[in-house]
Amino acid sequence: MFKIPETRFTRCDGVDIAYQVVGEGERDIVYIPAFVSHLEVMWELAEFAAFLERLASFGRLITFDKRGTGLSDRLPGMPTLEERSRDVGAVMDAAGSERAAIAGWGDGAAVALMFATNHPERVTALVLGSLGVKVADGPDAALVADPKVVQAMTEAIEHGWGQATFATVVAPSRADDQRFLAWYRRWERLSATPNAAAALSRCMLDFDADPLLTAVQAPTLVLNRTDSLFDPEAVRAVAERIPGCKRVELPGVDATPYVGNADAYLDEIQEFLTGTRGAPDLDRHLATVLFTDIVDSTRHAEKHGDRRWRYVLDEHHAQVRRLLDSFHGTEVDTAGDGFFATFDAPARAIRCACAIRDAVQDIGLQIRTGLHTGEIERQGTAVTGLAVHVGARAAALARPSEVLVTSTVKTLVLGSGISFTDRGLHVLKGVPGRWRLFAIDEG
């Protein structure tokens, strides 16, 4: 499961700026999201989390909510590009970063350009995507803000901010994906108010690209998808004005980098920043994931008091770990009062889950349990992959003292003597499609 990094705050010009630091490595990478953002909601979408984790595999990733959006201070009026670029330096200082590669999309690319021209000594490289500019008519052929882009953004905001109307502009390939749209509605509502979103979109009209582009000193990569909202001719003009710039056009209709062919984007970024290409080496294999969660833990804590509840939790943890060891399970994480573990055999995972359920009943507790079998990815101690999300969502739907498994698990243990009760089809939050779940029969 993708773990939300700790959100921290620093201050710039008296404005609180929220930021996160992910991973570690020999280089720092600052990622500036496009338009509006929310540092914690972005980790709730598997595609976005995977995009960020892949960036963090290239080095230490630093990202932040620009002033006026997300968890950073909401301000009256429109912040200038200069003001927003100062946030980059403030966040780098707070994270202890002297120099970094700066990656920005949309207006985040404009912020990156402003920072790079004002502070060339602090920028090792630039990665720019979805710059909302056009080549103006006339003999000078200047690059100016693209009114078509601003109009599309403004109309989407006016026609229902908080209803994922903006998603159809920047991620049209997901226009019928109900899972994605449900997340995007939350993303819009928590990232900015409608007034703030409209003001931030108007900021783009003041963007004058030409003086910034010719002043860039850092190695630069410009990325674009050929059929997205952003004009390919203007993107080519941007690259031509930046000394020594590398331009890559990829197929696709989405301006949002974490949907569509995100791995192709990330391959280009990885090669540009590190000199190597391809996803990081991961230990990928089939496993059964098990998630447990104590039912009514808050009520138990209030009933027992902090000290006694701590003793109960210690006994719960000891019982779970004893049984994981007995059934050859591997503990991955303990989040609060729940466990995440993996097994190499689904039938053994089910029997372990039932044994845990029975053991904790003896100490007055009930748990919910979910299991799924699928491909997981191991990188160090971290375990990720869609299978992890499915198992966690199944556990969340389980009834007290119920062990809930997916149809995949049921199929794999055919002939084991384990019996099931059909619990029907379910939509699992953050997971594509509908999933049939089964409860393990007691006995």
Distance of alpha carbon 254 from alpha carbon 129, whole angstroms: 11
What is the reported pLDDT for 3?
Answer: 66
CATH classification number, 283-440, choose in 1.25.40.90, 3.30.70.1230, 3.40.50.300, 1.20.1250.20: 3.30.70.1230
Per-position DSSP letters for 164-202, written without gaps between them: TTTHHHH-GGGTT-HHHHHHHHHHHHHH--HHHHHHHHH
Domain boundaries, the chain: 8-274, 283-440
Gap between the Cα atoms of 233 and 102, Å rounded? 23
The answer to whether the CB of 148 falls within 8 A of the CB of 208 is: no
Q: What is the dihedral of CA 327, 330, 334, 337, to 10 degrees?
A: -10
pLDDT band at 205 (very low <50, low <70, confident <90, very high): low
CB distance 393 to 430 below 8 Å = yes
Residue of 79, 84, 34 lying closest to 229 (CA atoms):
34
Percentage of the chain exceeding pLDDT 90? 55
> For residue 273, which amino acid is it?
L
pLDDT band of residue 204 (cuts 50, 70, 90) is low
Residue 33, token pair as written in the block: 């999201």
- Dump pLDDT digits (tens) for 355-366: 999 999 988 899
Cα 96 from Cα 116, distance rounded (Å): 18
Topology match between the domains 8-274 and 283-440: no
Rounded to whole angstroms, what are the CA distances from 113 to 59, 129, 157, 212, 386? 21, 11, 26, 6, 36
**Residue 424: its pLDDT value, please?**
95
Least confident stretch, 32-36, 240-244, 401-405, 427-431? 427-431
**How confident is the model at residue 124, as a pLDDT?**
97
Size of the chain, expressed as the number of residues it contains: 443
pLDDT value, residue 107: 86
Confidence of residue 150 (pLDDT cuts 50, 70, 90): confident
Q: Are strands 367-379 and 403-406 parallel, antiparallel or unpaired?
A: parallel
**Residue 279 predicted with pLDDT over 70:** no
Read off the pLDDT of residues 374-416 as tens digits, 9 standing for 90 and up: 988 876 667 888 899 999 999 999 999 999 999 999 999 988 8
Judged against a pLDDT cut of 90, whether residue 426 lies above it is answered with yes
- Nearest in space to 297 (alpha carbons), one of 356, 366, 249: 366
Residue 197's pLDDT is what? 86
- Given a cut of 80, is residue 64 above it in pLDDT? yes
User: What is the average pLDDT across 237-250?
Assistant: 91
Class of domain 8-274: alpha beta
Q: Which helix (H) or strand (E) holds 396?
A: helix 386-397
Tell me the average pLDDT across 225-245: 87
Contact, 374 vs 385, CB < 8 A? yes
Is residue 436 pLDDT above 90, yes or no? yes
Look at 11-25, 114-128, 140-154, 319-333 and tell me which has the smallest mean pLDDT: 140-154
Phi, psi of 38 (to 5 degrees): -145, 115
Q: In this prediction, what percent of the chain has a pLDDT beyond 70?
A: 94
In this structure, of 40-54, 194-208, 292-306, 321-335, the range with the lowest mean pLDDT score is 194-208
* Local confidence band at 443 (pLDDT 50, 70, 90 cut-offs): low
Poorest-pLDDT segment among 162-176, 246-260, 297-311, 417-431: 297-311
Sign of CA dihedral 145, 148, 150, 153: negative
